[in-house]
Structure 1
Amino acid sequence: MQHFLLSAAARTLSLKTVFKMGEDAAYEAFRMMRWPDGEATCPRCGCAETYSITTRKRFKCVGCHHQFSVTSGTIFASRKLSYTDLLAAIVIFVNGAKGVSALQVSRDLDVQYKTAFVLSHKLREAMALEAQGRVLDGVVEVDGAYFGGYVKPANIKSERADRRTRLAQSGKRQSVVVMRERKGDTLTFVGTREAEGVALVAKHVEAGTVVHADEASHWDALHARYETYRINHSEAYSLNGACTNQAESFFSRLRRAEVGTHHHIAGPYLSAYAGEMAWREDNRRVANGEQAGMVVRSAMVSPVSRKWAGYWQRGA
């Protein structure tokens, strides 16, 4: 059986198509994503009575006289890229099965690395908004894994510390906890210890849900609230109906993104990368054209980013 990513159904939008459609068509695509009914609404006062300044691709509000564009008040506010380049960046971003580095985006679009880095994180922020308020039920797999905190081993073998001890860690190691609903949604959280996932499961998984976890002792508390199945990975990956293979699938994608694409995803950005990989796992059998549309729609309803707007200026 052919893998979905190898089929023609997975390829419904290409960079060639984006660049051939031109600036006006790309602009119309963003406008229809933001205002599906075709009526522009003022982002400042919410007034629906506006008129178009066609020569500048801007609108003016009749109520407060505020001038705004298609991206004003969204996560793309104050953008400088053309609509064609912006749409092309989104297509490049969704086409990476295990993520796309900001360096590659900067080379493909001939923009500064700073531009590609901030734009990629804005897209991740928009994708993360889809998961807000989700509560899982049915059958849910939970697991945790550690990222970051790597310390390069000493050159001389006798001077190398046991990497299982804290002496071989930098103190920056973080835990990613994943809750994955079978044939449903995936939620991720970042903390200092995997045991913090017990409280997160209680908050984001409905009571009465069937939960699958491994043999780590902190998951013992789940039995009081859920019908819980445990799997000992030292004996088997799936046994007597218990397994966490879908949670492990998520971590496989995240590990490969860390090793092969981004090389370093720990620190304050780990949560964003984990959320991105959860989105990719949930939409892995969705055509790339539809994925691009989902990202654009999420970006068009997302407010101005408080974290990434003016990111490099604050750093200066």
Structure 2
Amino acid sequence: MSRYQKMSLISFQKQFSTEEACHDYLFSLKWSNGFCCEKCGHDAYFETKTRKHKLYECKKCRYQATVTVGTVMEKTRTDLIKWFLAIYMIAHDKRGVSATRLSVELEVTYKTAWLMLHKIRQAMRKRDANYTLAGIVELDDAFFGAPSEGGKRGRGTDKTKVLVGLSL
């Protein structure tokens, strides 16, 4: 399991300031040793520029792939810069990010922001399902909302309890 490394907004902007930089990063993640056809394993390819992204076609079997295939960004028409920034915003805000805020910040429609948000959350959920808590586990609870009329606050309240677990 890799350790999470927090990245500042400034360093994020420096590293992913262009569409090309985002593309190159995805390429290095997908094909760390250079292009390799997922179908036949051949390493020679043709490179074609599509509307938004580069398309890689195997010279041997003609299988076509892009860097976004198999990711939340597959078949998207939204710029990679906007996807990367959305992922950054969602991963760095512990309170959560709304689709409305994403829509405003990324200058996309609400419908696009909502879809991006749900795809990213689903990917995060799938990734988190691979890990189980181990070692020292700490728990804390909290109650959200105002107490009901004449009700009790804190422990003993009729509010729903929220538990948070952390594995160190």
- Is the shorter-chain TM-score for this pair beyond 0.5, marking a shared fold? yes
Q: Which residue of 1 aligns with 2:166?
A: 180
Listed as ranges, the gaps of 5+ residues in structure 1 are 1-8, 154-159, 184-316
1:175 deviation in Å?
6.6
1:79 deviation in Å?
1.0
Alpha-carbon distance in structure 1 between the residues aligned to 2:150 and 2:118: 36
The 3-state SS of whatever aligns with 1:135 is: coil
Alpha-carbon distance in structure 2 between the residues aligned to 1:94 and 1:10: 10
The 3-state SS of whatever aligns with 2:114 is: helix
Q: Which residue of 1 aligns with 2:47?
A: 53
1:24 deviation in Å?
1.8
The 3-state SS of whatever aligns with 1:134 is: coil
Change (3 A) 1:95 1:143: closer
Change (3 A) 1:134 1:102: same
Map Cα deviations across residues 34-83 of structure 1 (whole Å, 9 max, x no partner).
Answer: 222222443xx363445132433111134542322111122221111122
- Residue from 67, 72, 75 that aligns with 2:69: 72
TM-score norm. by structure 1 comes to 0.40
Question: Any conservation in 2 of the 1:89–1:105 contact (CA below 8 Å)?
Answer: yes
Identity within the alignment, %? 29
Q: Which residue of 1 aligns with 2:31?
A: 35
1:177 deviation in Å?
4.6
Listed as ranges, the gaps of 5+ residues in structure 2 are 1-5
1:28 deviation in Å?
0.7
- Which protein has greater RCO, CA pairs closer than 8 Å, 6+ apart? 1
User: Between Structure 1 and Structure 2, which shows a larger proportion of helix residues?
Assistant: 1
Q: Which residue of 2 aligns with 1:137?
A: 134
Alpha-carbon distance in structure 2 between the residues aligned to 1:147 and 1:52: 56
Alpha-carbon distance in structure 2 between the residues aligned to 1:177 and 1:62: 54
Question: Any conservation in 1 of the 2:55–2:64 contact (CA below 8 Å)?
Answer: yes
Residue 114 in structure 1 maps to residue 100 in structure 2: no
Alpha-carbon distance in structure 2 between the residues aligned to 1:25 and 1:69: 15
Larger Rg: 1
Question: Any conservation in 2 of the 1:18–1:87 contact (CA below 8 Å)?
Answer: no
1:111 deviation in Å?
0.5
- Residue from 5, 21, 25 that aligns with 2:21: 25
The one-letter code matched in structure 2 to 1:179 is G
Change (3 A) 1:35 1:175: farther
Q: How many residues align?
A: 155
Q: Which residue of 2 aligns with 1:89?
A: 86
Residue 103 in structure 1 maps to residue 97 in structure 2: no
Change (3 A) 1:70 1:142: same
The one-letter code matched in structure 2 to 1:134 is Y
The one-letter code matched in structure 1 to 2:33 is D
Change (3 A) 1:67 1:10: closer
Alpha-carbon distance in structure 1 between the residues aligned to 2:7 and 2:64: 39
Change (3 A) 1:73 1:139: closer
Change (3 A) 1:129 1:119: same
1:115 deviation in Å?
1.1
Alpha-carbon distance in structure 2 between the residues aligned to 1:18 and 1:60: 27
The 3-state SS of whatever aligns with 1:107 is: helix
The one-letter code matched in structure 2 to 1:180 is L
Alpha-carbon distance in structure 2 between the residues aligned to 1:139 and 1:15: 32
Alpha-carbon distance in structure 2 between the residues aligned to 1:46 and 1:146: 55
